[in-house]
Amino acid sequence: MRINTGQGSIPLITLIGIWSISALNALPGLAVSPILGQLTETFPDASELDLQMLTSLPSLMIIPFVIVSGKLTEKINNIRLLQAGLGIFALSGILYLVSDKMWQLVAVSALLGVGSGLIVPLSTGLISHFFVGDERVRQFGYSSAITNLTLVIATVVTGYLAEVNWRLPFVVYLLPGISIVLSFYLKRSMEKEGNPSSENMLVSADKNTETTVKSKTGFMVGNLIETMIIYGLATYLVIIISFNLPFLMREYHFSSGNAGIMISLFFLAIMIPGLAMKPIIRVLKDITLFVSFVAIAVGLMLILVAPTEWFIAPGCILAGLGYGVIQPWVYEKATHMAVPQKVTMALAFIMAMNYIAILVCPFIIDFFGWFLHFDTQQFPFAFNLAITVSAAVYAWTRQKSFVFSSW
């Protein structure tokens, strides 16, 4: 079976290989969350800093190595870079399973971030290299959906595995082994089917990009920075649902299980728009991002309105749907903001903003809570609601600009 790319076709196995890389983006740090309580018992001498490093170090390491990977794609064989990243990722999974000291687990967490950082821009870069036009938009949507669906499934699986043994959740970090096998099909497809070569994979979609991008850097710098800010801001605005909703619901006297269900609804909602990006853009056109920020704002407002699941659940879903549109939108826009040789680098800059937003979110909330003298569980949602409304107004005023328009 062959898949239409908008400029030809590729074997289904090649597309599955690309999808498998998208699935891995959700995994770093995932296995640690359900076992934090057990780790404090297994390693009684471990400090709170040690435990925080286990959860945050992968994201911290991903940020610079996403940029490094994007730069390396301009110089070396992309498939070899992919296989190196997958190999480091899988090696970290093996080392997690055999580590028996806290410092070893922390070191392996750093290694995991290196491997993940190397493959993150390639997950979208491969789509931009193979697909063009409407097919590329569709595949960016699918990539976003796969990442978030994997996050939901892996969260459930690691939770069950943690009940059996604290080491078992680390098994999910062995999944890159599947992608390593599929990477050989990717290489073969590029070599045999007249697709961009594995040595120098170039985007053939936007023939106008070379003439549009006048900067010596090879990027539409202003538009790229604006897109990075939009994506980083959107991630920051919605990630408080994952970070802060459990504390808010505990104050409302709900169980942790209820909070887990709400967060699962949020991530499932992020997945849905990715399955229908073209129809969404066709209907909303230039107000796509405006409507997305409005959905996030309404979602945050519903979470704040009343301490009942009948408001919190729709709030989580609406916020997820809004973010689920923004994510593939910015991926697609990034491919138009660089000359072909630098498209993966542009995507690397965009995707780095996701991890930066996740890292800085708690610090921003804590700082403004201290500065404004608000120390309630409702404050993060009210604060981000105000920012979201401002972002929606900005999106409305900028709807005809390059970053916000649907053309």
pLDDT at 202 over 50: no
Output the average pLDDT for the chain.
Answer: 85
Residue 92: C-alpha distances to residues 27, 29, 59, 113, 216 (Å): 12, 12, 14, 9, 39
Does the structure show a pLDDT above 90 at 76?
no
Report the pLDDT value the prediction gives residue 161, as an integer from 0 to 100: 84
Those residues with Cβ within 8 angstroms of residue 200's Cβ, 6 or more apart along the chain or in another chain? 341
What is the arithmetic mean of pLDDT over 28-56?
77
List, for residues 177-188, the tens digit of each pLDDT value: 999 999 888 888
Q: With H, G, I as helix, E, B as strand and everything else as coil, classify residue 46.
A: coil
pLDDT above 60: residue 398: yes
Higher-confidence residue: 309 or 114? 114
Identify which of 134, 115, 128, 138 has the alpha carbon closest to the alpha carbon of residue 341: 128
The pTM of this model reads: 0.86
What percentage of the chain has pLDDT greater than the value 70? 92
What average pLDDT does range 148-164 have in this prediction?
83
Class of domain 2-201: mainly alpha
The number of beta carbons lying within 10 Å of the beta carbon of residue 247 is: 12
- Token duo for residue 334: 């990034």
Q: In which band, very low, low, confident or very high, does the pLDDT at 208 lie, cut at 50, 70 and 90? A: very low
Helix (H) or strand (E) holding 10: strand 9-11
**Is residue 213's pLDDT more than 60?**
no
Q: What is the per-residue pLDDT for 236?
A: 94
3-state SS, 311-378, equals HHHHHHHHHHHHHHHHHHHHHHHHCCCECHHHHHHHHHHHHHHHHHHHHHHHHHHHHHHHHCCCCCCC
Are 272 and 292 in contact by the 8 Å Cβ rule? The answer is no
221-397 folds as Growth Hormone; Chain: A; (1.20.1250)
Residue 209: is its pLDDT beyond 70?
no
Judge whether residue 111 has pLDDT over 90. Answer: yes
**342 pLDDT exceeds 80?**
yes
**What residue spans define the domains of the chain?**
2-201, 221-397
- Percent of the chain clearing pLDDT 90 (strictly above): 34
Core vs surface per residue 119-143: b (16+ CB within 10 A) or e? bbbbbbbbbbbbbbeebbbbbbbbb
Does the pLDDT value for residue 38 go beyond 80? Answer: no
- Expressed in angstroms, the distance from the first to the final Cα of the chain is 31
Between the CA of residue 25 and those of 89, 266, 342, what are the distances in Å?
11, 17, 21
Looking at the DSSP bridge assignments, the partners of residue 3 are: 10
Burial group, residue 262, by CB count within 10 angstroms (0-12, 13-18, 19+): buried
Is residue 195 over pLDDT 50? Answer: no
Q: What share of the chain is helix, strand, coil (3-state, %, to 5)?
A: 75, 0, 20
> The tokens of 289 are what?
């991002």
**What's the pLDDT score for residue 62?**
92
Q: For 21-35, 54-68, 101-115, 221-235, which range has the lowest pLDDT when averaged over its residues?
A: 21-35
Which pLDDT value is given to residue 256? 57
